[in-house]
Structure 1
Amino acid sequence: MCNQTTTASILTSTQNSSQTHLYFHPGKHRHHHDHGAHHLCASISDIITEAKSLFNLAFPIALTGLILYSRSIISMLFLGHLGDIQLAAGSLAIAFANVTGYSVLSGLALDPNITRIGQRYLLFSLLDLFTNSFIHPIRIYLRAQGITHPLTLATLAATILHLPISFLLVSHFNLGVAGVAASASISNFFVLVSLVVHIWASGLHHPTWEKPTLECLTGWKPLLKLAAPSCVSVCLEWWWYEIMIVMCGLLVNPKAPVASMGILIQTTSLLYVFPSSLGFAVSTRVGNELGANRLNKARLSAVVAVFVSAMMGLSASTFASGMRNKWARMFTSDPEILRLTSIALPILGLCELGNCPQTVGCGVLRGSARPSTAANVNLGAFYLVGMPVAVGLGFYVGVGFSGVWLGLLSAQVCCAGLMLYVVGSTDWDLQAKRAQMLTCVDTTWLPHDFDNNSKGEEEQQPLICSVLTSAA
């Protein structure tokens, strides 16, 4: 979990669980000046210690992600078993569910058989949308306190149940794609119920719980100013992958491209588990160290994480290229789908060379409360660079399916370059001062021009500050 020297003074620990519960307490926060601020070169022991801290944070998150991925793989395997058109329809429906939450698949000039089956999949996925709207904030609530085991265990139990539920609904009751969607919804609902029951029964909510009052409806502006850009940043990148599936539905003979894209999205989802887990870990480490005014440790955490992410990118690229002729056979035996997948997998591997560092770089920006910067980078890279390249190569130059993936490659290269530039040019001293303001620390020591750069102290006051200080 979090480095003990970091959390000792700014975080309070409770003993309600076998894991350490970490939550911010303004009254106990003190300044911690980074005495090594002028020593820019970290020792080998410092690097190893930081790598261990990142691993301790990232490992349970990655484990949970892999468990979730295995559940998604089960659904895709059942879709492939039902048939190629069901695999294509399920892939398209999942894309629309991810992009919009729900959609009426009309007016898009797509294959009517694919959209008809996809619409049925979406109908039975509505419960999944509802449960995810609660699971995600609960997950972040637990992670912010350094608690990861409940989510991992609940996800593992749900995944174990997912296979027999899928078999029962798809094979025994012959519900087809509706059964695949319903089984996923039931599994996620089980996760939600398990988390709520565990939190309430074990008392994990006690350190941060306040009785609801009208005051809870105030002070949301600072929180939304951080949350909205962070949400937009994630959506801009995530939607691009789903838009790729929609573009494949507009190609000639769309069944094979859409089905192949669904398989490839599952592949990149597997590879994404590792850099995203590291991104969450470095976000926590950077945020904690900046909050403790240890800017050199925050810088070291960012550098170590980016280096590890580059190694992850090389490993992911090697895996994708090495599995090009084998991976798709788990899902289908259709020769055209196999051919398209084998062509695109090496391109996917090259994309991961950029995707891993940019994902971790985005985590650094989240940890330093700069989500709007990440959103701007994703907007420019994916939609001002990647989208025109994908549309041009895929539909106008005639490259087709591979052209769509080359568009993603151009976006990832651009995004990684911009993200690494932003992280590399970060003024860590300035970010440490911003962190003091965002965590309610007395800011009388800040330079006079800092408030001008911060667009006003009032707007910088966070929700956690107003709630906890008023409660005190």
Structure 2
Amino acid sequence: MDINESSPLLTCRNAENTAHFTGYADDIPPIKGVNDFYTQFAAESKKLWYLAAPMIFTTVCQYSLGAITQTFAGHVGTLDLAAFSIENSVIAGFSLGIMVGMGSALETLCGQAYGAGQIDMLGVYMQRSWIILFVTALLLMFFYIFATPILILIGQTEDISRLAGKMALWMIPQLFAYAANYPIAKFLQAQSKIMAMSSISGVALVLHAFLSWLLMLKLEWGLFGGAMVLNFSWWFMVVAQMVYILSGTCGQAWSGFSWAAFNNLWGFVKLSLASAIMLCLETWYFMALILFAGYLKNAEIAVDALSICTNIVGWAIMIAIGFNAAISIRVSNELGAAHPRTAKFSVVVVVFYSIIVGCFLALLLIIFRHQYPAIFADSLEVQQAVYALTPLLAVCLVINNTQPALSGVAIGAGWQAVIAYINIACYYIFGVPLGLILGFAVDLGVTGIWLGMLTGTVVQTVILVWICARTNWDKEASMAGERIKKWSG
């Protein structure tokens, strides 16, 4: 296909392509009056929830794999729970942040290319991302191999470090499943093929829950059984999604393996690194929270309590990531199709729903504050510590349900590099030092650490809202057109 013919500028031919591929033939007209706003809000809500609902289900299912293993580990023993929490939050969390972050470059390119009608480039982009992520996984594997000395070096107790290091070795297959899965996910998301991902993730979750109970508790394999089930569940999703793609359901988007995947790899690496830095800084922020708790008095109880809270926040964030993926698809598709007003309005709608859902989840937590700690741990000390953190946890659910949606806007528009700088300032120059001061100098313990770091997230969220409000969306649509020309060439 000639580049000039596939340009996202508003030519007659491209309008036909856009209508065919995205279902949106024209940009929305300027909104005049309350009735006009309500009509457009209802229409955009329908489009958003069509994407968000199955994506929320998918992300909750995928996150629940580790969360279920962590829950069963809490019934194996407190040391097992602490070791799995450290491995899952620090070792796997570090790697997951890099993998998801580098994969988000694919989210920007695939989404905008799909909106512009350049369907044949999606498969090439996915293969480029595979190459980069598998090489990255090979490098990250050493982090798994030397997990025990690394954890001891950063101050974790020897017992927790040794067991977490052993767990990390067992989890190396999951690392390579991450490398395979996230490019596939972005490839399918860009085409709005969400139901297939949801179905596969749902089946994986059911199998995972049963096998985890069987191996970890019934057969008493403990953490080794949990690791084997986690590896199986992630590779099951990868294989099932590839079968779906290879069956021909993606049409022009997948035309087979191509040598074109090796073209412009360095440029793709640079774009992926910018995306990785943006998302890694967010993922590692929670990882740091668990690490700092390990330096407190009675570290095992502190780590257990905080890991349960971050587990719950993680489930809530998976709902928010459903909005993140949906708004990324909406913004990237509409910018690629040169529909700036539609892209801007979709941001308003997603922020509204993310706040409402966050408040609902916080209310549920407060209502069941006496019951939920026992689900995650048998220790009364741990349960009491979790109960004490409930008010802060409720506030965190509201903030952390809104922030990922705004990050999705950034991914859809291709702002990863700018947001990375904002994350550094808000999280690590402001949030982390404030948390350490409140936690250790003011002696507020876990509550102080979390309160300081939550403040950093609030500041970052306010800045993202301000950026979205000040954005020239016509200019963003023009930049999307230039980006598509560059990467398709």
TM-score higher than 0.5 here?
yes
Measure how far apart 1:220 and its partner are: 3.3
* Matched position secondary structure for 2:389: helix
Measure how far apart 1:211 and its partner are: 4.5
Q: Deviations over 1:350-377 (max 9, x none)?
A: 1233222221111111111111122222
Distance in 1 between the 2:198 and 2:434 partners? Answer: 39
Distance in 2 between the 1:416 and 1:320 partners? Answer: 22
Cα contact 2:174–2:231 (8 A) shared by 1: yes
Q: Deviations over 1:286-322 (max 9, x none)?
A: 1222222221111111111112122123223323333
Distance in 1 between the 2:240 and 2:222 partners? Answer: 27
Distance in 2 between the 1:358 and 1:250 partners? Answer: 28
Does 2:276 correspond to 1:231?
A: yes
Distance in 1 between the 2:351 and 2:79 partners? Answer: 40
- Against the structure 1 CA distance between its residues 8 and 82, is the aligned structure 2 distance closer, same or farther, given a 3 Å change threshold? farther
Residue in structure 1 matched with residue 117 of structure 2 by the alignment: none
What is the identity, as a one-letter code, of the residue corresponding to 2:405? Answer: V
Measure how far apart 1:420 and its partner are: 0.6
Residue in structure 1 matched with residue 196 of structure 2 by the alignment: 150
Match of 2:84 among 84, 90, 93: 90
Measure how far apart 1:199 and its partner are: 1.9
Match of 1:428 among 473, 480, 483: 473
Residue in structure 2 matched with residue 60 of structure 1 by the alignment: 54
Residue in structure 2 matched with residue 458 of structure 1 by the alignment: none
Cα RMSD (Å) of the superposition? 2.5
What is the identity, as a one-letter code, of the residue corresponding to 1:98? Answer: G
What is the identity, as a one-letter code, of the residue corresponding to 1:417? Answer: V
Residue in structure 1 matched with residue 94 of structure 2 by the alignment: 99
Residue in structure 2 matched with residue 162 of structure 1 by the alignment: 208
Does 2:336 correspond to 1:341?
A: no
Does 2:173 correspond to 1:179?
A: no
Cα contact 1:354–1:413 (8 A) shared by 2: yes
- Against the structure 1 CA distance between its residues 167 and 128, is the aligned structure 2 distance closer, same or farther, given a 3 Å change threshold? same
Distance in 1 between the 2:198 and 2:483 partners? Answer: 30
Q: Deviations over 1:217-262 (max 9, x none)?
A: 2223554444322221111111111111111111111110111111
Residue in structure 1 matched with residue 295 of structure 2 by the alignment: 250
* Matched position secondary structure for 2:250: coil
Q: Deviations over 1:199-220 (max 9, x none)?
A: 223453653325522x432223
Using the size of structure 2 for normalisation, the TM-score is 0.81
Measure how far apart 1:422 and its partner are: 0.7
Does 2:65 correspond to 1:71?
A: yes
Superposition pairs of residues 370-385 of structure 1, within 5 angstroms = 370-385=415-430
Superposition pairs of residues 203-218 of structure 1, within 5 angstroms = 203-204=249-250, 207-213=253-259, 215-218=260-263
Measure how far apart 1:417 and its partner are: 0.7
Residue in structure 1 matched with residue 414 of structure 2 by the alignment: 369
Distance in 1 between the 2:18 and 2:268 partners? Answer: 20
Count of residue pairs the alignment pairs up: 423
Distance in 2 between the 1:39 and 1:430 partners? Answer: 23
Work out which structure has the larger RCO, using CA pairs closer than 8 Å and 6 or more positions apart in sequence. Answer: 2
- Of 373-382 and 253-262, more deviation after overlay is shown by 373-382
Cα contact 2:321–2:404 (8 A) shared by 1: yes
* Matched position secondary structure for 2:443: coil
Measure how far apart 1:68 and its partner are: 2.3
Distance in 1 between the 2:294 and 2:251 partners? Answer: 46
Match of 2:157 among 111, 123, 137: 111
Residue in structure 2 matched with residue 360 of structure 1 by the alignment: 405
What is the identity, as a one-letter code, of the residue corresponding to 1:352? Answer: L
Cα contact 2:74–2:378 (8 A) shared by 1: no
Measure how far apart 1:167 and its partner are: 3.1
Match of 2:347 among 289, 299, 302: 302
Residue in structure 2 matched with residue 141 of structure 1 by the alignment: 187
Unpaired runs of 5+ residues, structure 1, are 1-6, 14-21, 25-29, 441-460, 467-472
- Of 343-352 and 217-226, more deviation after overlay is shown by 217-226
Measure how far apart 1:172 and its partner are: 4.7
Distance in 2 between the 1:34 and 1:300 partners? Answer: 11
* Matched position secondary structure for 1:394: helix
Instruction: Determine what percentage of the aligned residue pairs are the same residue.
Output: 26
Unpaired runs of 5+ residues, structure 2, are 1-13, 96-139
Using the size of structure 1 for normalisation, the TM-score is 0.83
What is the identity, as a one-letter code, of the residue corresponding to 2:45? Answer: A
Cα contact 1:117–1:177 (8 A) shared by 2: no
Measure how far apart 1:329 and its partner are: 0.6
